[in-house]
Amino acid sequence: MFEDFPQFVPQKICLSCQGCCRFLDEKSDWRPRESEGRVKTKKIRDVFYCQFLEEKSNKCSEYFNRPLQCVFYPFLVEKKEDKIVVGVHLACPFIQENLHMKDFDIYRKKLEGFFKEKNFIGFLKDNEYLVEDYSSYQAEIETLFSL
Ligand code: SF4
């Protein structure tokens, strides 16, 4: 239902980036949610890779079944005060270069329209585990709109 929405970051850029899908600790809050918990990690040198990230190709072995949070990343759904909001993760290098550029603002509007049209808020009520508490990470998130 939501998986077909196009990603903002071009695939070529994602595949050449060493940021996503890797975590600083084994139990990182940034690991995407599966219905029962979060993805597991495997330690490669000093970094914890998502269990599905293929080291050599930098590809996700579960790409077509990846968690919904991976589909929308670097856009994030979080609970803020009493609202559910969508923000963007400023740690993404592509976002740092494109934040509030014309294409970013066009995408943001499309994403907001898509979530409203598809009743994403209704979906989240049935899947509350997808709404994160990122209150400890506000310095690296810019809130874009509420649902
Ligand atoms: S499931 Fe795939 S896209 Fe999501 S963090 Fe793991 S490797 Fe990355």
CA–centroid distance, 53 to ligand 1, in Å, is 6
**5 found inside a domain:** no
Q: Calculate Rg over the CA atoms of the chain.
A: 15
96: left (phi over 0), alpha (psi -120 to 50) or beta: alpha
Is the predicted pLDDT of residue 4 greater than 90, yes or no?
no
> What pLDDT is recorded for position 35?
87
Q: How many domains does the chain have?
A: 1
**114 found inside a domain:** yes
**115 found inside a domain:** yes
Q: Return the residue whose CA atom lies nearest to atom 8 of ligand 1.
A: 21
Domain range holding 85? 11-146
Q: What is the pLDDT of residues 29-74, one digit of tens each?
A: 999 999 889 999 999 999 999 999 999 999 999 999 999 999 999 9
What is the torsion angle, in degrees rounded to the nearest 10, for the CA atoms of residue 86, residue 18, residue 14 and residue 57? -140
**6 found inside a domain:** no
CA–centroid distance, 42 to ligand 1, in Å, is 12
pTM of the model: 0.95
**1 found inside a domain:** no
> What pLDDT is recorded for position 120?
96
Is the predicted pLDDT of residue 1 greater than 90, yes or no?
no
Mean pLDDT across the stretch 4-32? 94
> What pLDDT is recorded for position 3?
86
